[in-house]
């Protein structure tokens, strides 16, 4: 560490670190009833970072040798020479790393034959679920990341991160119409996780059910209406509507629609939202973030009031706040930035069925595809892939996929009911920011929002 | 030299029992510098390499890749790939292309900049100039997500066990700016960029900055709209995204999985007669050009849609065999194996100016940005968040936000009733301004 970062570095920079990573990915894909695609990928490399004031120098190499590390450090440090240090050293890392995903057998090490066998059983189960299912694509992805980080302030910490995901896609056909359904899950868990509690069978039948259901879907409505969100994955609403807007970097720069609104009311008092990276075995959880800071539980909105931002070390230092364990990166090829972990709304008091019954005319949305947000004007979208019309408190016809659009600082002020049924998603989320993807989780109880624009075609 | 390493890896695969194999090696160096509010924000350098290998054991196959090119690591990759290929199922369509179809003569497409590298200071200066132009062009530009200069130099090598071994190099340069305009507490961000294979072909940094600023400023004062069905004009950037959706549905893997709204539509009319879409890999110095595809097949010009008729799919060897067709030489390689990728994909221009297209609309929507993922490639159902300008009596009247545009891609393509003359090959996929007769704009 000393040799690479150099003894005289500390006088000129505010923070510096070296990140080493070794990663194995394994993917197995079944299509047309057989596993014809299998692949295994190995990446290793190191990233060296030096920071001074608001400036960051970053260099990475995929040949981990002392010579290359020294060269990377020289390049990262060059930026420090171009600027004056703020003379304000970052705090050393503190707190103990968690132990959230020690496994009896990492998923990457599970026998290939067992994975193949499960994929074949999923294929059969999905086809058996509905005679209209004509295609099944099932995949198991497993990963293991071993990381080690050493900071200039003398903090060194490592982590071994298992991750796995099972995904099932079904294509249903009837009378020349085709539809697609998709379901899956996973986490920082063993391969056996998929076999427990009938999980794989549920993923298979859900994918089939969604594809078949959509064959009979009617056009989605167009315009603003009351929408009831089901529990679990619809928590992507929070991720897009407020999560990104509460990342430290956008708020330090004043480019977020939430900038300068700390302590203000940004949601209905029924709404409390947290980002929690410390839940055992979750896809979005980490023992330490990618800067070596132990992850934590940050209350973002408490009873409707904005109470917290998610921070990495750089933005925490510049804003005079504490790092929250949200400094994440896709791999050694990227410098970290503030990112979410598992973001969810706490449960309320209402009976979910009663929430649905309270709606005269609206939409009940239970499954979503991806979403996106414009941080600066706060506008966010996310796509409902399974949704139903609600008439006089009763679920009626399924509707075709439609994008929902809203305004982050405003949408949650119209939350009028919060259910008692908080659920976290199954473990499928991946979040993209500035070209970097990281695994995340979301969660939501059943909630009702009085007025959000539904982008259908039925005017 | 690059190909030597690949050839030795392929030899080892054969010794390990592979009946055929191919390998792809990318080596690249990148530099980027960003400036925010006139101060340096990030500088990053990198050097990366990745070797990916596909092996066949008879009719079964598997893939592996590594960023570690040491001898031990490469031996491990070969062993793992050949072991994986032993457990995967036989597939009658698997295999390398027929050697007689490989490219005979690799064309020189002039994809590398021969000029000297700029110093880091000069590169930072380009980003600084672009951002400064944005900040200075209008007093309403008050903040910025910054400006970035980046460059990349890469070398690609491809080899097969039947003796093909070639490589080629590319360079790429880009400048982008993302300014924020504000007025009465409202903030709007937009961006503009320029990218090219040759540094001299980059747009002037000041021009990029001014254009980005104008795009951000014109969004100030945005209104929501009542839901309505009207003509919609897509600007060239958003029109290009429609072309990408069509290419996705026309690509082999979507088709053989029956997950495409273009299934069984080859030779039929899928769009208005004014629509012709071409993929041309051989345009000298263009961003999407390549001298051979990811399986060593000669690249060329493919007419995807001619006068509204779907004339060709986009296929690699595997998907072509599955569909009983021939490869269209669109194999792409990434870390995880072979995929289908386009090269320079263009919806060809018409004769109407964009101003005339806007003038032809009495009441409608001019779309300048789309967000979200609301395109269903299986059904063509389309619903995306949109930003733009409302058109009243043929004039851009005021900015609009927090609305969606929705329809079905097949119906939208058939309803194209105006194609602009403003095609510029500034990216890998491009289109001119397009007018669609009717779409639902959903708002309040």
A179 touching chain B per CB within 8 A: yes
- Check residue A2 and give its pLDDT: 64
Residues of A in contact with B384 (CB under 8 A): 381, 403, 455
- Check residue A9 and give its pLDDT: 54
**Is it the case that residue A8 has pLDDT exceeding 50?**
no
- Mean pLDDT across B50-69: 93
How far, in Å, CA of A97 to CA of B329, rounded?
Answer: 51
Confidence of residue A69 (pLDDT cuts 50, 70, 90): confident
C-alpha A341, offset from chain centre: 6
State which H helix or E strand residue A159 sits in.
strand A156-174
Confidence of residue A155 (pLDDT cuts 50, 70, 90): confident
- Interface list for A 248-307 with B (CB within 8 A): 253-255, 257
State which H helix or E strand residue B62 sits in.
strand B60-66
DSSP A130: -
Yes or no, beta carbons of A401 and B383 under 8 Å apart: yes
C-alpha A172, offset from chain centre: 29
Yes or no, beta carbons of B48 and A62 under 8 Å apart: yes
Yes or no, beta carbons of A56 and B45 under 8 Å apart: no
How far, in Å, CA of A17 to CA of A173, rounded?
Answer: 54
Q: Which residues contact A14 (CB under 8 A, 6 or more apart)?
A: A51, A52, A53, A85, A86, A88, A89, A90, A317
- Check residue A62 and give its pLDDT: 86
Q: Please measure the distance between the N-terminal and C-terminal CA atoms of chain A and give it in whole angstroms.
A: 63
Yes or no, beta carbons of B383 and A456 under 8 Å apart: yes
Q: In percent, how much of chain A has pLDDT > 90?
A: 83
Say if residues B67 and A43 touch (Cβ distance below 8 Å): yes
Residues of B in contact with A377 (CB under 8 A): 186-189, 219, 222, 401
How far, in Å, CA of A302 to CA of A258, rounded?
Answer: 15
- Check residue A153 and give its pLDDT: 80
**Is it the case that residue B163 has pLDDT exceeding 80?**
yes
- List pLDDT tens digits, range A392-402: 999 999 999 88
Q: In percent, how much of chain B has pLDDT > 90?
A: 95
DSSP B379: T
Task: Report yes or no for ipTM above 0.95.
Answer: no
- Interface list for A 339-378 with B (CB within 8 A): 369-377
Confidence of residue A36 (pLDDT cuts 50, 70, 90): confident
**How close is the nearest chain B Cα to the Cα of A98, in Å?**
30
**Is it the case that residue B279 has pLDDT exceeding 70?**
yes
How far, in Å, CA of A367 to CA of B388, rounded?
Answer: 29
How far, in Å, CA of B341 to CA of B294, rounded?
Answer: 9
Cβ-Cβ contacts under 8 Å between A and B: the total is 261
Hey, of B72, B144, B223, B383, which one would you mutate to test binding to chain A, going by the most A CBs within 10 A of its CB? B383
Sheet with B429-430, strands from edge to edge, namely B309-310, B301-306, B277-280, B345-347, B429-430
For residue B430, the tally of other CB atoms under 10 A from its CB is 21
Average pLDDT, chain A: 92
Pairing of strands B20-36, B39-57: antiparallel
**Is it the case that residue A253 has pLDDT exceeding 70?**
yes
By C-alpha distance, the chain A residue nearest B76 is A42
Q: Which residue has the tokens 């020479």?
A: A81
- Check residue A12 and give its pLDDT: 66
- Check residue A87 and give its pLDDT: 45
Pairing of strands B192-196, A429-433: unpaired
Residue bearing the bigger pLDDT, A401 or A340: A340
- Check residue A459 and give its pLDDT: 80
Confidence of residue B414 (pLDDT cuts 50, 70, 90): very high
For residue B155, the tally of other CB atoms under 10 A from its CB is 17
- Check residue B15 and give its pLDDT: 94
Can you give the pTM of this predicted structure? 0.94
Pairing of strands B39-57, A55-61: parallel
From the list A41, A369, A382, the residue facing B335 with the nearest CB is A41
Q: Which residue has the tokens 């500035």?
A: A434
Q: Which residues contact A25 (CB under 8 A, 6 or more apart)?
A: A40, A41, A43, A141, A142, A143
- Mean pLDDT across A266-294: 97
- List pLDDT tens digits, range A70-121: 777 777 777 656 555 444 455 555 678 999 999 999 999 999 999 999 999 9
Instruction: Count CA atoms within 13 Å of residue B125 on its CB side.
Output: 5
Domains located in chain B, CATH noted: 3-28+43-94 (3.30.160), 228-240+349-442 (no CATH), 242-347 (no CATH)
Yes or no, beta carbons of B47 and A61 under 8 Å apart: yes
From the list B36, B335, B442, the residue facing A456 with the nearest CB is B442
- Mean pLDDT across A351-374: 96
Residues of A in contact with B144 (CB under 8 A): 255
Yes or no, beta carbons of A255 and B374 under 8 Å apart: no
Residues of B in contact with A37 (CB under 8 A): 61-63, 88, 337
DSSP B354: H
Residues of A in contact with B81 (CB under 8 A): 40
Q: Which of A81-87's residues contact partners 24+ apart within 8 Å by CB, and which partners?
A: A81/A12, A82/A55, A82/B40, A83/A52, A83/A53, A83/A55, A83/B40, A84/A52, A84/A53, A85/A11, A85/A12, A85/A13, A85/A14, A85/A52, A85/A53, A86/A14, A86/A52, A86/A53
How far, in Å, CA of B259 to CA of B252, rounded?
Answer: 10
Residue bearing the bigger pLDDT, A169 or A14: A169
**Which residue, among B52, B49, B83, B47, has the nearest Cα to B65 in the 3D structure?**
B52
Average pLDDT, chain B: 96
**How close is the nearest chain B Cα to the Cα of A427, in Å?**
20
**Is it the case that residue B256 has pLDDT exceeding 90?**
yes
- Check residue B242 and give its pLDDT: 98
């Amino acid at each position: 560490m000393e040799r690479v970062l150099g003894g005289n570095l500390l006088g000129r920079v505010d923070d510096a670190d070296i990140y080493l990573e070794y990663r194995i990915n394994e993917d197995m894909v079944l299509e047309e009833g057989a596993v014809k695609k299998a692949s295994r990928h190995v990446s290793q490399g190191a990233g060296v970072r030096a920071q001074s004031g608001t400036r960051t120098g970053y260099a990475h190499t995929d040949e981990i040798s002392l010579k290359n590390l020294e060269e990377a450090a020289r390049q990262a440090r060059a930026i420090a020479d171009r600027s004056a240090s703020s003379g304000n050293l970052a705090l050393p890392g503190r707190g103990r790393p968690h132990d959230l995903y020690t496994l009896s057998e990492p998923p990457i090490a599970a026998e290939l034959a067992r994975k193949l066998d499960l994929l074949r059983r999923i294929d059969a189960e999905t086809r058996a679920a509905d005679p209209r299912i004509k295609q099944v694509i099932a995949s198991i992805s497993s990963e293991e990341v071993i990381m080690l980080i050493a900071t200039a302030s003398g903090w060194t910490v490592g982590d071994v991160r298992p991750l796995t995901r099972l995904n099932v896609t079904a294509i249903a056909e009837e009378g020349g119409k085709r539809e697609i359904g998709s379901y899956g899950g996973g986490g920082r868990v063993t391969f056996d996780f998929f076999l427990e509690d009938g999980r794989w069978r549920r993923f298979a039948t859900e994918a089939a059910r969604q594809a078949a259901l959509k064959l009979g879907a009617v056009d989605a409505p167009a315009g603003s209406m009351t929408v009831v969100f089901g529990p679990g994955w619809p928590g992507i609403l929070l991720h897009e509507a407020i999560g990104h807007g509460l990342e430290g970097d956008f708020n330090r720069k004043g480019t977020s629609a939430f900038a300068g609104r700390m302590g203000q009311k940004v949601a209905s008092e029924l709404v409390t939202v947290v980002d929690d990276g410390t839940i055992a075995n979750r896809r979005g959880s980490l023992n330490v973030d990618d800067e070596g800071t132990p992850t934590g539980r940050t209350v973002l909105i408490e009873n409707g009031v904005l109470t917290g931002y998610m921070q990495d070390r750089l933005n925490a230092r510049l804003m005079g706040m504490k790092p929250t364990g949200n400094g994440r990166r896709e791999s050694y090829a990227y410098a970290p930035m503030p990112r979410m972990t598992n973001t969810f709304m706490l449960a309320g008091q209402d009976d979910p069925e009663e929430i649905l019954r309270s709606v005269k005319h609206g939409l009940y949305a239970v499954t979503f595809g991806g979403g996106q947000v414009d941080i600066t004007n706060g506008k966010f979208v996310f796509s409902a892939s399974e949704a139903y019309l609600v008439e006089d408190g009763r679920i009626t016809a399924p509707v075709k996929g439609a994008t929902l659009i809203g305004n982050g600082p405003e949408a949650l002020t119209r939350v009028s009911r919060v259910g008692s049924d908080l659920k976290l998603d199954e473990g499928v989320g991946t979040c993209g920011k500035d070209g970097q993807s990281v695994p995340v989780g979301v969660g939501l109880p059943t909630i009702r929002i009085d007025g959000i624009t539904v982008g259908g075609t039925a005017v | 030299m690059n190909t030597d390493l690949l050839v030795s890896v392929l030899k080892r695969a054969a010794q390990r029992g592979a009946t055929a194999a191919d390998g792809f090696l990318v080596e690249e160096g990148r530099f980027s510098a960003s400036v925010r509010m006139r101060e340096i924000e990030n500088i990053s350098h990198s050097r990366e390499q990745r070797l990916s290998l596909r092996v066949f054991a008879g009719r079964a196959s598997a893939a592996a890749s590594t960023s570690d090119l040491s001898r031990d690591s490469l031996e491990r990759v070969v062993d793992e790939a050949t072991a994986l290929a032993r457990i995967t199922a036989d597939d009658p369509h698997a295999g390398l292309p027929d050697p007689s179809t490989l490219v005979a003569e690799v064309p020189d497409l002039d994809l590398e900049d021969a000029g000297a590298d700029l110093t880091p200071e000069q590169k930072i200066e380009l980003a600084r100039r672009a951002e400064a132009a944005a900040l200075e062009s209008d007093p309403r530009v008050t903040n910025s997500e910054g400006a970035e200069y980046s460059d990349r130099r890469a070398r690609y090598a491809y080899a097969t066990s039947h003796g093909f071994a070639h490589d080629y190099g590319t360079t790429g340069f880009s400048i982008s700016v993302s300014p924020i305009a504000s007025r009465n507490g409202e903030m709007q961000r937009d961006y503009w960029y320029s990218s090219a294979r040759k540094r001299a072909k980059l747009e002037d940094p000041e021009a990029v900055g001014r254009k980005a600023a104008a795009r951000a400023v014109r969004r100030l004062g945005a209104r929501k709209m009542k839901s309505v069905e009207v003509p919609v004009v897509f600007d060239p950037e958003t029109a290009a995204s429609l072309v990408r959706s069509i290419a996705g549905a026309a690509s082999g893997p979507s088709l053989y999985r029956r997950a495409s709204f273009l299934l069984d539509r080859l030779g039929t009319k899928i769009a208005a007669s004014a629509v012709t879409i071409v993929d041309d890999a051989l345009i000298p110095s263009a961003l999407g050009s390549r001298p051979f595809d990811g399986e060593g097949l000669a690249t060329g010009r493919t007419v995807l849609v001619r006068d509204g008729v779907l004339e060709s799919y986009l296929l690699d060897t595997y998907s072509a065999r599955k569909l009983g067709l021939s490869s269209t030489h669109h194999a792409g390689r990434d870390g995880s194996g072979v995929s289908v990728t386009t090269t320079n994909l263009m919806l060809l221009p018409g004769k109407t100016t964009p101003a005339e297209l806007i003038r032809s609309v009495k009441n409608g929507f001019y779309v300048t940005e789309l967000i979200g993922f609301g395109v269903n490639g299986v059904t063509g159902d389309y619903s995306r968040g949109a930003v733009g300008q409302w058109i009243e009596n043929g004039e851009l009247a005021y900015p609009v936000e927090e609305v969606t545009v929705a329809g079905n891609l097949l119906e939208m393509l058939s309803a194209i009733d105006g194609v602009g003359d403003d095609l510029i090959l500034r990216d890998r996929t491009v289109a001119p301004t397009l007018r669609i007769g009717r779409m639902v704009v959903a708002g309040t």
